[in-house]
Structure 1
Amino acid sequence: MTIRDDASDTAPTAASTGWGPLTPSHTVVSDDADDLEQEKKTDYGMSTCAETVPLPGNTYVIRARDSGRAITIFNRELQLMEWDCAGDKSSHWECEERGGWLAFKNPVGGKYIGHNGNGVFHAQAEWHLLWESVCARKHPEGGFLLLNRGWWWWNPLQKMDVDESGRRLVHNSDRGTVWEFLRV
């Protein structure tokens, strides 16, 4: 259903009592099938919800902006998978903070997202330490890049990316996957 604003000039109307942005006095609703079909299409390249900033104390589904798939624990492995919004907590991540760094812990297994020292992300750690520390950097086109510390504190930050298989999460120094956070 497409709604069109019929206010076409800047003069005040009955619905708008002053100068400036007008409040339309009425709207027109389209019954055109093409308009209705256009509203049903989902473009995962664009966010389907309001931009949410990850903050400690909240729980999120962390979803790849381009595919809509979520970071999920499946068979004790961290993977990018289709998200079941019906309440599957294997895709839920509690955001915590320590020393200014964020960390994401799965509420079911109690494990943190971190890396294994070989450039692959996993959810095996029981504590928020160096390898589980992440920073969420705002992406200019919306969403966030997730950056993670390398082997030592002096190593440059690495971006979290999806590997060629489309399932595993890996370090990448050049490009990173753009993520969005859905608060649950």
Structure 2
Amino acid sequence: MNLNWIDPKPISDRDDSTRGVNTPPETIADDFLNDHDPLGTPKLSNSSVPWPGSTFIIRCAITGKVITLVDGKIIIAPPGGRGAIYWACIETKGWYGFREINSGRFLGHDKNGYLCCRAERQQGWENFCVRMTPEGGYVLLMTHWERLWHVGPKMDKGVEMLVKVGEKMADGMLWEFVKV
């Protein structure tokens, strides 16, 4: 074994490498890094982390439209219109559920895969998995037998409805959770 590459000088424990250097506070450094993305990737607005015990507006990260309960149907609509948009995050058996705060009913899906808000308690059709994406934002996934399906849009009679759209990320939408 050749040991010629080993430096025979002892290494000092004292580190003078940062003496005289002004390190910015972490918030300034973070802002700088966010402002100077070398790839030019668009940054999403700040989203809260969905967590049981909190209430959220669930908003599409791209369009700004929100999950809305109108006349018993779940649609995606601009905020400020008619309909209920506040969803309490609940956890049951490790799954997230979203209960509309006025009706007390849970967000789920019907037999055709359309999202609805009818159940009085969280069961299999009201179970959600929420995953953060590397770009920011979250995907909403719903159980379908042993698989997870993305939640995404479907036009139905001129109204943008939400449905279980498929197993691929490209099928779904990117969501933000605005804590209220």
Q: Fold-level match, TM-score > 0.5?
A: yes
Q: Shift of residue 105 of structure 1?
A: 0.3
| Count of residues in Structure 1 that have an aligned counterpart in Structure 2 | 141
**Contact map agreement 1:89 1:107 (CA 8 A) in 2:** no
Secondary structure of the 2:84 match is: helix
Give the deviation of 1:22 after TM superposition: 4.6
Q: Kindly indicate whether residue 172 of structure 2 is the aligned counterpart of residue 170 of structure 1.
A: no
Q: CA deviation at 1:21?
A: 2.9
Q: CA deviation at 1:163?
A: 1.2
Matched AA of 2:148: L
TM-score of the two chains, using structure 2 as the length reference: 0.72
Letter in 1 for 2:23: P
Q: Distance in 2 between matches of 1:129 and 1:148?
A: 12
User: Structure 1 unaligned runs (5+)?
Assistant: 1-16, 24-44
Matching residue of 1:47: 44
Aligned to 1:21: 23
| 8 Å contact from structure 2 (residues 69, 83) kept in 1 | no
Structure-1-length-normalised TM-score: 0.70
After superposition, the C-alpha distances for 1:23-60 in whole angstroms (9 at most, x for unaligned) are 8xxxxxxxxxxxxxxxxxxxxx7433x23110000000
Summarize deviations over 1:119-139 as a string: whole Å, max 9, x none.
Answer: 111111111000000000111
Q: Which residue of structure 2 lines up, in the alignment, with residue 140 of structure 1? A: 134
Runs of 4+ in 1 over 6 A off after TM superposition: none
Does 1:103 pair with 2:105? no
- 1:62/1:19 CA distance change after superposition, 3 Å: same
In the TM superposition, 1:4-83 aligns within 5 A as 18-22=20-24, 46-48=43-45, 50-83=46-79
Structure 1: how far apart are the matches of 2:66 and 2:165?
19
Post-superposition offset of 1:177? 0.5
Which amino acid is 1:168 matched to?
M
Matched residues in 1 for 2:134 and 2:83: separation? 30
What does the per-residue CA deviation read over 1:55-74, in whole Å, with 9 as the maximum and x for residues that have no partner?
A: 00000000011110100111
AA partner of residue 149 (structure 1): T
Contact 2:108 2:115 in 1 (8 A): yes
